Every structure is written in C-alpha cells, then in structure tokens.
Chains A and B, each alone.
Chain A
Amino acid sequence: MGVSILSIFYLFAAVTYILGLKMLSKPSTARAGNLIAAGGMIIAIFGTIFLYEDHGKKLGNYGWIFSAIAIGIVIGTVTAKKIKMTAMPELVSFFNGMGGACASLISIVEFDYLVRAGNPAETYFSDVAHPGHYLAIIAGTIIGSVSFAGSMIAWGKLNGSIKDIVFKGQHLVNMVVLLLLLGLSIYTYHSPTAQVRILFYSTVALALIYGVFFVMPIGGADMPVVISLLNSFTGVAAACGGFLYNNKAMLTGGILVGAAGTLLTVLMCQAMNRSLVNVLIGNFGGGQSKAVAGGKGPQGSVKEISVSDAAMVMGYSKKVMIVPGYGLAVAQAQHTCHDLEKALDERGVEVKYAIHPVAGRMPGHMNVLLAEADVSYDKLLEMDQANQEFKDTDVVLVLGANDVVNPAAKNDPSSPIYGMPVLEVEQAKTVIVNKRSMKPGYAGIENELFFHPKTSMLFGDAKKVLQELLQELKNA
C-alpha cells in the first residue's frame, strides 16, 4: 500500500516539475511555478523517507536523515537569503555543484554495494554488475563529478578567487583526459573484482580533474554559458540516479533540466553569435596573446568629462538611454541608478535602459538587478528595440559595460568578438562611458568606442559617480 501511494507521490512530483518549469517561463506565473515545483519536491522527499521500501524493507537511520536535512536547510536558507543580488550567478553555480556532488556520492555508494556483493577471488566485475546498472553508476559518477568540480571552478572565477589559466595545448590535454576517462570506465567493467575499487576511484579522481580542466581555460565572459551547461550536466547525473533506483520522479526532473539547460545554453551562444564548440574551445577572454596579436589597437585620444558637465548634458537632454553592465553589479549601484532615473524623469527627461542579453555575468543578470531596484518593466528595452531607438537618443550613459557596446564586433573581423550582436550606442548624439579605469573588459580586448569622437569618459566607481551625478542634478 505504502509503495503504491509513493508512486502516486512521485507522479505528482513529476507533474509539478513540468508545470513549474512551464510557469517559470512566464513573468506573471513565474513565482507560483517555483513554489509549485518546491511543493512537489517536499512531497517527493517526505514520501521517500516514510514510504520507500527497498526489497520490502522500509528505510531506517531517520536520525541521520533528518539531521542531514536540517543542516542542509539551515546552510542553504541562510546563504540564499543573505547573499547579495549581485553575487547571484556564483551562488547558482555553487548550488549546482552541490547537486553534482550529491549525484556522484550516491553512485559511489551504490558501486561499493555492487563490489561487496561480488566474490573478489574469482569473478570479473562484469559478472557481478549488470551492464545497464554499471552504466547508470559510472555515468552518474563521472557527470556528477565533472559538474561538481566545474561548478566550483566557475564559482571561484565569478567571485574572483580563481584567475583564468591557459597553457599551450590545453585542449589537447583535455581531450586526452576525456578519452582516458572513457577508456578507464570501460576497462574497469572488464577487470577482476579485486582490482575494481582502485580503478573506480581513479575514474572519480580523473573526472574531478577533467571538470577543473574543462572550465579553467574558459574566460569569465563565457561563464554564463558554462554554468548553464553544467546545470544541464547535473540534470543528467540526477537522471542516472533515476535509472539506478527505477525512480520516475528523478528521471523526469533530471532529464527535463538536462534538456532545458542544454537548449538554454545554445540560446545563450546564439545571443553571442557563436557556436557552443567555439565557446568551449575558443579560448575566448582567456588569451591575452590574442588581444595583443590583434595588432591595430584603437588609436586616438580619450576625452574625459567632469561629473558636473555630465549631469548638465543629461539634465538638459530629451532622451537618455542607460546601458548597464557588470560594473553596475559590482558597485551595487542599481538603487542609485534608479534614483538618477527618477531625478531625470522629474526634469522631463525620458529615461530608458538598453539591456544586452549577455550583459553582466548571466543572461538576464541586469533584469534581475534592476528589478531589485524597482525599475519598471516598460523602461527596459531589449537589444533590437534599443538599437532602433539609439538614433533618437541624446545621451547614452554606459555604466560598467564594455564588450556588449564594442563596435569591433561589427567592424573588425580580426576581433575575437566579431559577429556578436552589440548595442550600437555610437548612433546616439553623445555617449558617456562610466568605467573604473581604461582596463579592457572581461573579453580582454580594447574598445574603440572609448576613442570615438562622440564619447566622453567618466572614470570612477559606478555607485560613487551616480551619487555625484544625482547631487549635481539636484543642485542644478
């Protein structure tokens, strides 16, 4: 009886995941969708604890299970509630890594059971393990470990504790490690049971190494793509668990996320006009040599503008377009930005925001950030719409964005970002660029926009500069 009820719980959970994801894709239902999926998850978890039967035996170790869940809830809630909105991308990466590690650990324990069941003296591992069962275990371990190690590196890169490391022939090394990994998984299966543990643990170690190598050479500008890809990896790893336990809820949830995550990854690549392969092996943003080799660095002089002049120019214009970038996120300047927008609005200046799909460190990063500051939806323009409106715009204020406004993407075929759709801010009458310094952006390339005759530079931390602008506007 309990088991039949549990299967209905799982069915219900699977439906909530599908429904939840669907509702998450519409602004009006998104929040409810998230809660519905969470509700399904709670039912699946408690159903498993109290109703699951393994060969007719109920689960035990309730003390362990509940204390582990309690620890997870406390750490998870506190981290998720305390984290600043700007650090959101790295947090998603972190939680994704936890899921990957979880999938990997499950497979390791299941492998251990499998080895214990065998007779080490005489049998080959292939006699003990059913091929399908082994496949689910080894795939779950490898994918989970790669996802864990990769996510931790992505997490470190986004919060700045890990730098891009590139060495010659890195992709060749990665390829060799990957082939070794596949070879080892097959070899392990056909080895004597006595040796199989050490081989399996080597496979786990190699998978972790591969995860590190996989993400290490990919530049910070491409981190959104990588996180999305690793997200779908973890989904597949979870689905391997579904095969292992014949659990349809795990299978549905895992594959759903695996498929959706893969498509989201491809959509992100399309937004940058590049292929996924190009992102993964393109060495984009990591290779400074490329930027130097580009040769013709932008020439000309940079024009600076003072805060009071900038305030004047904006205060007396008809239409201002704000282009937010990662600099805005770093400086936590979204609220000040909204205040500036209101101050300009009171003076009768029309203010809009031009949002590049990959501005910041995650697709939609800027939307989330500005949403936090209560900026209204209809002021946010997507790229195509913004590009049509730049012609009639008096002042464009670029706040800590760089690569997404680089004209080289259109003009310079030798540029690594050539072909990426960008915001054509140079079409506006005046461009004011706020940056902390002349340092190139995350892609590591110069931006000729800064040398454009229409462009004036306003150096400084985004928040400080915005506060000063606000002050000047009030005094004016």
Chain B
Amino acid sequence: MHTVIDFIHANEQEVYIVILMIFLGIEIIGRVPSVLHTPLMSGANAIHGVVIIGAIIVMGKAESGNTVALVLGFLAVVLGTLNVVGGFVVTDRMLEMFKKKKKN
C-alpha cells in the first residue's frame, strides 16, 4: 500500500496524463461512424508506434561492447519503424479510396 502511494506521488504528472488520456480516448472514439472503424483501428495502430522513441533511446545509448543492447535495440528500431510506417501508409491507402469516391 505504501509503495503504491509513493509511486503515485512520485509520478503525479504521469498518473494525471494516464487518467485524462483514458477519458479523452473514449470520448474521441465514441462518435466514430462504423464506416470509419477499420481506418481508425489502423490509424490508432500507427499511433502506438510511438514506442519507437523508446527503441531509438535504447539503440542510441547502447555502448559498443554491449551486444545484447545493440542487437535487441537494432531489432526494436526495425520493428518499431515497421509499425509506424506500415500503419500510416496503410491507413492513408484506405482513406485515399474514401476521398476519391467523394469527388464523384
């Protein structure tokens, strides 16, 4: 119990962000028409690719002798980039078709 209170106190800002983002995330999605469900899921998928920041940090601070960090970090950056780039490109491809149709 003590640890939990300490943790919340030490990470007060982060805890606020978590709680506010939970409400915001629900609020935003709540009004999505079902037509956009697939692109939205794909777009959200691309956004959680933000995890690549962590991968870059791991890679960038790895010392030359630390094989574990170098190899896993490299792999993490590749996979993270795949998530980000693939996610945004696929979403754009889906939405491009919607747009094209609206002009007709």
A and B held together in a complex: yes
Interface residues of A (CB under 8 A from B): 13, 17-18, 20-22, 24-27, 30-31, 33-35, 37-38, 41, 44-45, 48-49, 52, 54, 57-62, 64-65, 68-69, 71-73, 75-77, 79-81, 83, 85, 88-89, 91-92, 94-96, 98-99, 101-103, 105-106, 108-110, 112-113, 131-132, 135, 227-228, 231, 234-235, 237-239, 241-264, 267-268, 271, 355, 357, 362-365, 367-368, 371-372, 374-377, 380, 382
CB < 8 Å neighbour of A106 from B39, B55, B84: B55
Q: Is the CB of B25 within 8 A of A251?
A: no
Interface members, chain B 13-62 (any A CB < 8 Å): 13-14, 17-18, 21-26, 28-62
CA distance A228 to B91 in the complex (A): 15
The answer to whether B21 touches A255 (Cβ under 8 A) is yes
- The docked-state distance in angstroms from the alpha carbon of A243 to that of B80 is 18
- Given contact pairs A59-B56, A76-B82, A238-B48, A69 touches B39 in the complex (Cβ within 8 A): no
| Interface bits B51-82 vs A (CB < 8 Å: 1, else 0) | 11111111111100000111011111111111
> CA of A364 to CA of B36 in the docked complex: distance in angstroms?
6
Contact of B40 among A25, A31, A73, A95 (CB under 8 A): A25
Q: A109 contacts B40, CB within 8 Å? A: no
User: Would you call A98 and B38 a contact (CB within 8 A)?
Assistant: no
| Chain A hits for B48, CB < 8 A | 96, 99, 231, 234-235, 237-238, 253-254, 257-258
- Once the chains are docked, how many angstroms separate the CA of A195 from the CA of B95? 51
Query: Is there contact, CB below 8 Å, between B34 and A61?
Result: no
| A-B contacts, 26 listed (Cβ < 8 Å) | A22-B28, A38-B92, A41-B50, A45-B56, A48-B53, A61-B70, A65-B56, A72-B84, A76-B89, A95-B90, A98-B80, A99-B79, A102-B49, A102-B51, A106-B54, A132-B10, A256-B44, A258-B48, A259-B22, A260-B28, A262-B26, A264-B29, A363-B34, A367-B34, A367-B36, A368-B38
For B92, the closest partner residue in chain A by CB is A34
Set B11, B24, B54, B95: member contacting A259, Cβ < 8 A: B24
Closest to A372 in B: B97
Tally of contacts, chain A with chain B, CB under 8 A? 379
Q: Which residues of A contact B76 (CB under 8 A)?
A: 101-102, 105-106, 109
Most central of A81, A96, A258, A380 by chain B CB within 10 Å: A96
The residues in B between 82 and 104 inclusive whose CB is less than 8 angstroms from any CB of A are: 82-102, 104
Instruction: Contacts A41-B47, A103-B54 known; list 5 others, CB within 8 Å.
Output: A24-B44, A41-B50, A72-B78, A88-B94, A259-B29
Cβ A25 vs Cβ B102 within 8 A: no
Q: Which of B61, B88, B96, B98 contacts A37 (CB 8 A)?
A: B88
B26 touches A263 (CB 8 A): yes
**Interchain CB contact under 8 A, B54 and A247:** yes
Residues of B close to A54: CB separation below 8 A: 57, 60-61
B85 engages A72 (CB within 8 Å): yes
Distance in angstroms from A73 CB to nearest chain B CB is 5
Smallest distance from the beta carbon of B39 to chain A beta carbons, Å? 6
Q: State how many angstroms separate the Cβ of B90 from the closest Cβ of chain A.
A: 4
